[in-house]
Structure 1
Amino acid sequence: MSNPKIIIAIAAFLLAIAVAAGAFGAHALKNILSPERLETWQTAVQYHAWHALGLFLIAMIGAQLDITVTWPASLIFAGILIFSGSLYTLCLTGIGWMGAITPIGGVAFIAGWIWFGIKMLK
């Protein structure tokens, strides 16, 4: 994930998926999931969308400043997959242990943003 164009393309696809997931939750799942699970779904969508936008910004800034952002972008991408993915799976399947891996995605988000911050200071 070192090419900014690829990162931006991935971010665009992730944003499209976030919009679809939000609509799916608001329309298809509103009468199926409990209010608590629907809130969990919404949390997954919000983190998914915000971090996809962040991924886009990381790529744009990296390209503008001509710095490699492979690790920060990869960690943010992994965070979306693990954090939001585990919450989506939890909501759709009811598999409780999926919630236990969600914090790993959160740590990936934090690590990605810290790594990006360090890159900006160099």
Structure 2
Amino acid sequence: MNKTILLTGVVFGLLAVVFGAFGAHGLEKMVEPEAISTFEIGVRYQMYHALFLLFIGLWTGLKANKKRIVYTLIVLGIALFSFSIYGLALNSIIKFDFRSIAFLTPIGGVFLIFGWFFTGYFILTQKRIN
């Protein structure tokens, strides 16, 4: 499980750097400045949570079943939150209307919140932390 969590964190981190570079250097001629700002929010949250996954993958004080819960919540959160934001920011240059699935963004945010919540809960209720 740790290897999967770490590799997922690395992939999301790598993609955040690539998307961040694209947002900083490739989008200014394609979309409005506020769309770039929106895009950057998705990148920022993706990177924060990629680092969080690396922490979870390296931490030996959390049991595998609890790591799986946090991992699932964070991956779903990144996929729904950040990737829907990317679509919304690029809506003016893509044929698909991402506004029709904009409801996914707050759902993804809730998954991210629950990932953090359960991590805290598991820490508080664990008898011994390594």
TM-score (norm 2): 0.85
The number of residue pairs the alignment matches comes to 118
TM-superposed deviation, 1:99:
2.7
User: Counterpart of 2:55?
Assistant: 57
- Provide the C-alpha distance between the structure 1 equivalents of 2:101 and 2:50, rounded to a whole number of angstroms: 21
- Provide the C-alpha distance between the structure 2 equivalents of 1:7 and 1:86, rounded to a whole number of angstroms: 22
Partner AA of 2:83 in structure 1:
G
TM-score (norm 1): 0.90
TM-superposed deviation, 1:91:
1.8
CA distances 1:21-78 after superposition (whole Å, capped 9, x unpaired): 00011111111111111110000000010011011111211xx225120001110111
The change in CA–CA distance for 1:66 and 1:72 in structure 2 (over 3 A counts) is closer
User: Counterpart of 1:76?
Assistant: 74
- Provide the C-alpha distance between the structure 1 equivalents of 2:101 and 2:15, rounded to a whole number of angstroms: 20
Kindly indicate which of the two structures has a greater share of residues assigned to helix.
1
Mark the runs of 5 or more structure 1 residues left unpaired by the alignment: none
Mark the structure with the bigger radius of gyration. Answer: 2
Q: C-alpha root-mean-square deviation of aligned residues, in Å?
A: 1.2
Contact 1:89–1:98 (Cα < 8 Å) also in 2:
no
Mark the runs of 5 or more structure 2 residues left unpaired by the alignment: none
